[in-house]
Amino acid sequence: MSSFIGIEMVEEGKLSVDNLEVDEKTGNVVISVNPKIYPMNTIFSAAYILVDKAWVLIDGDPNEEIIVQLRRKDSKINLEELGRSFNNELVNYSVYNVQVEKNAILRGMIVQKALETQSQESDVKIEKKAKKAKERKTVARAKTKRKSRRK
Amino acid sequence: MQELKPNVRVEENKILLRVNKSFYDFETVENVKKQFEQIADVLTIDTKTDTLIEITPIQKLKSEEMEIIGYEFFNRLLNTIKEMRNE
């Protein structure tokens, strides 16, 4: 086993780089993911993005170490690049999920405000309608009074 | 990196899959199983940690083609999970 700047030859045709294990023979790249850093939701999203380029298998222990195996669909695809793009997608979706969480409070506030103004507007409309109905009633009463006087 | 048992194996005319239950639940597996029943006989065996799946294609296929069917099963599992989560 030889090791050089983080690259390790596991066995012939199999390279271990950072959290990746590249196997040119089988066309697989195996990625080790720490579930304490990346939650399942993020891992599924990152894996789903690569479904067109690779067959994706998820295995391992959800509490200790998650193993993601990517098997390239086309022999032209570089396995190390494929593994690294998976790592990038993990970061992308982590940032996205953090933003979604942050925006959830703000979104809730906006919706609440919109509902409040809508209910205020509808209260004003109801008041106007009641006023008009009252006016119509008084006019009708006056008319009937006038008619009865003429008789 | 931990050593794991293979997830896809081809034996004669059968494709044998090992699906980790921690990541792929029963409902998802059943959903994908239905999709494959048009092209193969599919049998599932439930164990404590995994769902073992035996796929026997109706047509005679090459070993490489059978392996691809096995891997495609996993991609469909992932598709189904994403669809279910988006609902």
Q: Which fold has domain A3-104?
A: Gyrase A; domain 2 (3.30.1360)
Q: Nearest by CB to B78, which of A41, A47, A65?
A: A47
ipTM: 0.92
Q: Are A64 and A34 in contact (CB under 8 A)?
A: no
Q: pTM of the full predicted structure?
A: 0.77
Q: Do B20 and A59 touch (CB under 8 A)?
A: yes
Q: Do A44 and B79 touch (CB under 8 A)?
A: no
CA nearest to B71, candidates A30, A56, A53, A69: A56
pLDDT, average across residues A93-121:
88
Q: Searching chain B, which residue's CA lies closest to the CA of residue A45?
A: B82
pLDDT, average across residues B79-85:
90
What is the spatial distance between Cα B30 and Cα B9, in angstroms, rounded to a whole number? 20
Cα angle for residues A9, A11, A12 (degrees, 5° grid) = 95
CA nearest to B76, candidates B48, B53, B50: B53
Which uninterrupted H or E stretch holds A98?
helix A79-150
Max mean pLDDT among A21-25, A113-117, A122-126 falls in A21-25
What is the spatial distance between Cα A16 and Cα A29, in angstroms, rounded to a whole number? 10
Contacts of A18 in chain B (CB under 8 A): none
CB atoms inside a 10 Å sphere around CB B24: 22
CB atoms inside a 10 Å sphere around CB A82: 21
Q: Tens digit of pLDDT for each residue in A33-84?
A: 999 999 999 999 999 999 999 999 999 999 999 999 999 999 999 999 999 9
- Would you list the domain boundaries of chain A? 3-104
